[in-house]
Copies of this chain bind each other. A is one copy, B any other.
Amino acid sequence: MKLENASVSIIGLGLIGGSLALALRDRCGRLVGVDTDQDARHWAVDRAFPAEVTADLKQALSGCDLAILALPVEAILAVLSRLGHDLPSPGSVLDVGSTKRAVVQAMNQLPPDVGAVAGHPFAGKETSGPRDADACLFCGRPFALVPTERTSEEGWDLAEQVVAALGAETWVIDADEHDRRVACTSQLPFVLALSLLAVGDKRAAIDLSFWNAAASGFFDTSRLASSGIPMMRDILHTNRFEVTLALDETVGWLQQFSERLASEDMKWIETQHTHLRQLRQTLAPANPEAGAIHENNDLWPGA
């Protein structure tokens, strides 16, 4: 089935769902947007979302060829558990949640007639909500697609057409591999951002002008603390095993750094800095905003 003939429903019109809606609105046979939040629905209508906008999940799933679940991960799991029970089964389902192991497990339990693909676009902003939605959010970015026991040929084909329509690049990966990586590259920087603010907050409580000293480096490093709260809670919860492993490794490294510094081993510190600075320059030589993959195609299997 061609995407341009397919009936597609986007469940959830937040930053990601709203961006999907803007990018896909002229690329599908029919596009339905679903959100229980009235403001999000009003946004969809205001931004000239071309088709139906509804709060009725059941209606949006009836006769739907592809349902895209753009919700926090635990809400994705809740919707998956209802498909074929109190909610009608769509022909295919694709999620765009940020962790994949729990989603794949839930997809494996779907009725056999639902074609299910787990997905994760590597794109986002540190804001949330549809007001910042952007049709180009996914352009040139990798979009992980994870096969499940319920993946049908048509479901996979539709998912690949969605990725292409977004201007993104398909990256086929296994759920365990995916979750292990994002623990390090997404959740770990988020928790480090929080830790920086938490330590500052404690100092500021006894030193009211403490924050005067915070400059751009502080704000760069703490930026991810602005991520959406329910989204991060679900991501951390469903990936807690990998995230705690990554945190334990980080704690070990920081303790080693602290010990070397206390013993004035400036040679070790300089060597580490030189190596890691070079590493970062290799990964993001021109435009750090854009992420690694555009800039270093050797590292990108889909390129």
Contact = CB atoms under 8 A, between A and B. Distances in A.
A170 to B, nearest CB: 12
Nearest to A223: B220
A226 interface: yes
Given A243-B261, A247-B258, 20 more contacts: A142-B213, A171-B212, A181-B210, A186-B217, A192-B192, A195-B253, A197-B280, A198-B272, A199-B250, A212-B301, A216-B291, A219-B289, A219-B292, A220-B221, A220-B223, A221-B221, A221-B224, A225-B280, A226-B280, A236-B269
A289 to B, nearest CB: 6
A213 B272 contact: no
Given A197-B276, A198-B272, A224 B215 contact: no
A132 interface: no
A123 B171 CA distance: 40
A105 interface: no
Interface of A: 122-124, 126, 141-142, 171, 177-178, 180-182, 184-186, 188-203, 207-227, 229, 232-233, 236-237, 240, 243-244, 246-251, 253-255, 257-258, 261-262, 264, 266, 269-270, 272-277, 279-281, 283-284, 288-293, 296, 299-301
B217 A257 contact: no
A239 to B, nearest CB: 9
Nearest to A144: B213
A281 B228 CA distance: 13
Contacts of A258: 243-244, 247-248, 251
A254 B250 CA distance: 9
A71 B163 CA distance: 51
14 contacts: A181-B203, A181-B207, A181-B213, A189-B218, A191-B257, A193-B221, A195-B250, A196-B250, A197-B280, A199-B250, A212-B299, A225-B276, A233-B269, A247-B257
Given A233-B266, A273-B229, A300-B212, A288 B254 contact: no
A28 to B, nearest CB: 26
A249 B217 contact: no
A214 B301 contact: no
Given A211-B296, A225-B276, A262 B233 contact: no
